[in-house]
Structure 1
Amino acid sequence: MSVFVSGATGYIAQHIVQQLLEQNYKVIGSARSQTKCDNLIKNFENNPNLSMVVVSDISRLDAFNETFQKYGGDIRIVLHTASPFHFDVTDVEKELLIPACNGTLGILESIKKYAPDKVERVVITSSFGAIIDFTKLNDKTFTFNETLWNPDTWESCQSNPVSGYCASKKFAEQAAWKFWEQNKDFVNFKLATVNPVNVFGPQVFDSDIKRTMNCSCEVINSILTAGPEVPVNPNSKNQFIDVRDIAKAHLQAFQKENTIGKRLILSCGDFNDQDILNVLNTDFPSLRTKVPVGSPDSGILGTHTGAIVDCSKTKEILGFEFIDFKKTVNDTVEQILRVRREL
């Protein structure tokens, strides 16, 4: 039995692959090039339980056909993490919406065509972006939960890349739920989605520490590299979750029966840039002259300064405690500084 992980070289996906291998699953991962495939295998020290395939363009609806034609008889679990996540785009529809939707529909169609009776569980990496309503973020009387959907339309979300990314996750996830409902008589698998907020935490491999980090970790990295005189952004409020918890949730999403048909919202609460600075200045003495002090009392950790993100049902289903803000920031920063030899 194998677990297929699409987009296996991604930030979240590498943690998923690591945890799968630690639990002795056989893993087949996909990446966009042979070089990326080879690098991941090398990073995991040629683990015999890991193999890779090239899927170069997920915007093609037949992108996963070859993989499931070849390995469909062995794949029992599909974790679909592959989706564009960047904001440097000029065409939201072409670069975000279409790849996200086609990638999701394409992999489900490939399962239906080549492994309808073999694949037992499918987990889609969605996002809180599929739920978010930007007009409600500062409304203290409003609560986001797993029943809600981002109100943007295909047209309105193309006003900017952030809205485009969030809506791409909505449309792709909705496509998955619709497919599952319409094809229950033709496929054997059960579906769940994982919907995390802003993701922090270390990379699986030190080699992924770059001058500019992946979108979420760049929030921390940009503060580390901006210098001590940069003013603190007073409007930097966001929600956080640790990448290791997201990976753990993906595994439990197919290992548990009570996750079937569920959207799992992962959030550990509010933070702002000042909260990051407070951790840096307290726990990393070497940074005290290199990052701003800001106004230590203006942190929002542990408070609700706007709409609430209710993930109580997800916590009840998963049954484990999420990694707290201090640890996720410390582990992220420690790795960056160690690799850059600044500790």
Structure 2
Amino acid sequence: MKTVGIIGGSGFIGSHTTKKFLEEGYNVKVSVTDIKMSEKYEHLFNLKNADNLNISALKVEDFETLKAFIRDCEIVIHGGTPFQLDVEDPRKELFDPTINGTTNFLKAVSETPSIEKVVLIASVAAYNTNFPLPSYGKTTTDSFNETDKKYISAESHPYAQAKFMANQTVEKFIEENPKLSFEITSVSPVGVMGKSLSNREDSTSTGLQFLFKNKIAPNPFVQMLYDTNAEMATVDVEDVAQAIFKSATISGLHGKNYLLSSETYPVSDMTLMLNHKEPKNKASVIYQNRLAINDLEMKFRPVQETLNSYSK
């Protein structure tokens, strides 16, 4: 039985990833930032094969604790970077834990002989920090894929900028270390939606679905999405977990970063579908998913199916 360490394995994406690896017969170690807050991870013990689950406290900024967490792992998944839209101190809340945490993580895995595969959960922001708005030079109907020029703007949300910079850190590490004993693969999901495995109310992804369903705008960023009726590329959280599993268990994917995307609809149609009504527009595929379909044999769920699974 192989062991997988999942940093951030109790979050929205992380919980589905933990579920997938447990179902596939892996010994799963999940890190949480505060072991005392059991309400954030207790749902994992209801999963199939939860006897093979271990929960540990970890902050990726703590190098020695990080090394101890991954010491006996063959696979390590890093999805423990903060995802938040309301930010008071971007440096403290986003840039430092995301960028410095990634640097720390890469150093730790490079010093761990047991590791065979590393998967980083990046973001579409690794390609375009303007998401869901188009990158420079493109319109809202122009498609985007992994070969397009990456785009970052100082005017983009700090979360997006942090994810872009963290991905640059990964690419630089791969370039500077051509003889690694393990493979590194990244996945970059667009807007992740779907059913949560927990009742947590602090998830940005599930919170965004609640806002879209009820047309609530608690901050200027969300209000901008309504004002522009932004074209929102979406992917199901279960499909993201499946792609992470495939990336971790298929060899020969070193250095690749897969866009994970299903269909794109304007936000107004997402509101309709979250309320179990028919969209007014036809779906398009703005962020291309062909590479993930070819390499990972992915089959992405239709967005309407994804949004209908949201129950709050």
- Match for residue 288 of structure 1? none
Deviation of the 1:254 alpha carbon: 1.3
> Which digits, 9 at most, give the CA deviation of each residue in 1:253-274, with x for residues without a partner?
0111243321110111211233
Which of 169, 173, 189 in structure 2 is aligned with 1:179? 173
- Match for residue 247 of structure 2? 253
Q: How far, CA to CA, are the matches of 1:191 and 1:225 in structure 2?
A: 40
Superposed, 1:227-242 pairs within 5 Å as 233=227, 235-242=229-236
Q: How far, CA to CA, are the matches of 1:21 and 1:12 in structure 2?
A: 14
* Alpha carbons of structure 1 residues 139 and 29: separation in structure 2 relative to 1, 3 Å: same
- Match for residue 264 of structure 1? 258
**2:209 partner letter:** I
Q: How far, CA to CA, are the matches of 2:289 and 2:96 in structure 1?
A: 29
Deviation of the 1:282 alpha carbon: 4.9
- Match for residue 120 of structure 1? 116
* Alpha carbons of structure 1 residues 144 and 224: separation in structure 2 relative to 1, 3 Å: closer
Conserved 8 A contact 1:41-1:51: no
Which of 184, 190, 203 in structure 1 is aligned with 2:196? 203
Q: How far, CA to CA, are the matches of 2:176 and 2:38 in structure 1?
A: 34
Q: How far, CA to CA, are the matches of 1:280 and 1:52 in structure 2?
A: 33
Conserved 8 A contact 2:213-2:275: no
Which of 208, 211, 214 in structure 2 is aligned with 1:219? 208
Q: How far, CA to CA, are the matches of 1:70 and 1:167 in structure 2?
A: 28
* Alpha carbons of structure 1 residues 245 and 281: separation in structure 2 relative to 1, 3 Å: closer
Q: How far, CA to CA, are the matches of 1:137 and 1:14 in structure 2?
A: 37
Superposed, 1:7-86 pairs within 5 Å as 7-36=8-37, 40-41=41-42, 43-45=44-46, 47-56=50-59, 58=60, 60=61, 63-69=62-68, 72=71, 74-86=72-84
Determine if the alignment matches structure 1 residue 329 to structure 2 residue 310: no
Structure 1 portions without partners, runs of 5+: 284-295, 337-343
Conserved 8 A contact 1:129-1:169: yes
Conserved 8 A contact 2:214-2:271: no
Deviation of the 1:327 alpha carbon: 1.0
- Match for residue 340 of structure 1? none
- When Rg is computed on C-alpha atoms for both structures, the one with the higher figure is 1
Structure 2 portions without partners, runs of 5+: 217-225
How many residues are treated as equivalent by the alignment? Answer: 297
Conserved 8 A contact 1:53-1:67: no
Q: How far, CA to CA, are the matches of 2:138 and 2:165 in structure 1?
A: 24
Superposed, 1:299-338 pairs within 5 Å as 299-303=280-284, 308-332=286-310, 335-336=311-312
**1:275 partner letter:** D
Q: How far, CA to CA, are the matches of 2:272 and 2:141 in structure 1?
A: 28
Q: How far, CA to CA, are the matches of 2:10 and 2:56 in structure 1?
A: 11
- Match for residue 88 of structure 2? 90
> Which digits, 9 at most, give the CA deviation of each residue in 1:206-248, with x for residues without a partner?
x22x3xx632333331244459xxxx75523211000000000
Q: How far, CA to CA, are the matches of 1:303 and 1:242 in structure 2?
A: 16
**2:234 partner letter:** F
